[in-house]
Amino acid sequence: MAEIISARVIVTCPDRNFVTLKIETADGTTGIGDATLNGRELAVVSYLQDHVIPCLIGRDAHRIEDIWQYLYKGAYWRRGPVTMCAIAAVDVALWDIKAKVAGLPLYQLLGGASREGCMVYGHANGATIEETIAEAVRHVEQGYRAVRLQAGVPGLKSTYGVAKPGQRYEPADGALPTESLWSTEKYLRSVAPLFERAREVLGWDVHLLHDVHHRLTPIEAARLGVELEPYRLFWLEDPTPAENQAGFRLIREKTTTPLAVGEIFNTIWDCKQLIEEQLIDHVRATIVHAGGITHMRRIASFADLHQVRTGCHGATDLSPVCMAAALHFGLSVPNFGIQELMPHTAKTDAVFPHAYSFKDGMMHPGEAPGLGVEIDEELAAKYEYRRAYLPVARLEDGTLFNW
């Protein structure tokens, strides 16, 4: 028995907001879990503080599966991003505790390493095709074996995934949502030329990826998939909103461009049909948004039966605590595909000292017992929460669209 004697939520903003849950057991062992839900952070803080923590005190931290079921079924109101982020934070903190008590890096408890490291993809973006390709070249020089390409769309003032001049890309950029304009026609004209040029310059030994960010209809996505076939993408991500999973049948029938979906999924039920019918190649659900390591292992096992590999979301709104958990998970599951890497700022890294590392395009969680990441609470306290929303997108006639 490792009795939970306290659980606290820590909110900090070292360049961007993060929510972290810290659980402590009677013998002084602590574990942490990421609970960050970009743009809706405080809803998870309240869910944890007001509704979850009171249920944790006095429980045995080692009974991870039982606590997961207790929080999921016990709430009666199942699923949803707020609930599943909160459960994820508890779950990861408990795995951290268990692995620390065992004196092992977490991946050893998850079955051990299935590979030498986790291949990651970086983000190359620029206002023009040439700027984007130059960024991609820089990534390849740093050792990346896979790069996501996003370029500005001629005729649109701003584009998803493209940084403002001289700045890092960080989408949650306003105390109220900033508004951007979208034109499917302009966008569709711009994508194939980007990848044509990328293959000319980068050759064929680097994996190329692209994120549509939910902005096409299935038939438009099918057209784009066909147009991109000559450039052999590693994946085309979120080609269409995935609430209607059956919509992917149409895309799948038309194109062999591999598909990745699921960064906004929070349970296996969001991707059950996509996986069962083999409508996708990679599932993008990740630890913090999809119920933690316990639930992600369930999704990965189910996906493995259908030749679907993982491809966990890893943007900067997922804290280093989530990155560490994703790497232990990715190193251990048999059907790992790739891990997204959008490096955090030095300020964020200082608040979350960690054992994971990057080398030759691969990441490894390190050998420290537990997750191998801690939170420097004194430093964290210096960075106060700042409300920051994700943008919204409108069509050129003013219609609210998918961002």
Ligand X SMILES: O=C(O)C(=O)C[C@H](O)[C@H](O)CO
Which residue numbers are catalytic?
A: 160, 213
Which of residues 211, 220, 270, 374 is near ligand X by CB under 6 A?
211
Instruction: Establish if 340 lies at the interface with ligand X (CB under 6 A).
Output: yes
Binding to Mg ion (CB under 5 A) within 249-268 occurs at 263
Q: Shortest distance, CB of residue 397 to Mg ion, whole angstroms? A: 26
Asked if 340 touches Mg ion (CB under 5 A), the answer is no
Q: Which of 211, 270, 317, 374 binds Mg ion (CB under 5 A)?
A: 211
Q: Which among 76-84, 211-219, 246-254, 365-373 is the span making contact with Mg ion, rule CB under 5 A? A: 211-219
The CB-of-246 to ligand X minimum distance in angstroms stands at 23
CA–CA dist 4, 1 (Å, integer): 9
Distance CA 80, CA 136 (A): 36
Cα distance between residue 16 and residue 168, in whole Å: 12
Cross-strand bridge partners of residue 309: 282
**Which residue from 24, 96, 135, 263 is in contact with ligand X, where contact means CB under 6 A?**
263
Q: Which stretch binds ligand X (CB under 6 A): 66-74, 180-188, 312-320, 322-330?
A: 312-320
DSSP 117: S
Nearer to ligand X, 68 or 235 (CB): 235
For the chain, the straight-line distance linking the first and the last C-alpha, in angstroms and rounded, comes to 47
Q: Which of 20, 25, 38, 257 binds ligand X (CB under 6 A)?
A: 38
Which residues, in sequence order, are bridge partners of residue 211?
237
Q: For 285, how many CA atoms within 13 A lie in the half-sphere containing its CB? A: 33
The gap from C-alpha 301 to its chain's centroid, in whole angstroms, comes to 18
Is position 213 an interface residue for ligand X (rule: CB under 6 A)?
A: yes
340 binds, among ligand X, Mg ion, none (CB under 5 to 8 A by kind): ligand X
Q: Which residues contact 291 (CB under 8 A, 6 or more apart)?
A: 68, 72, 84, 87, 88, 91, 266, 267
Choose the contact partner of 41 out of Mg ion, ligand X, none; CB within 5 to 8 A by kind. none
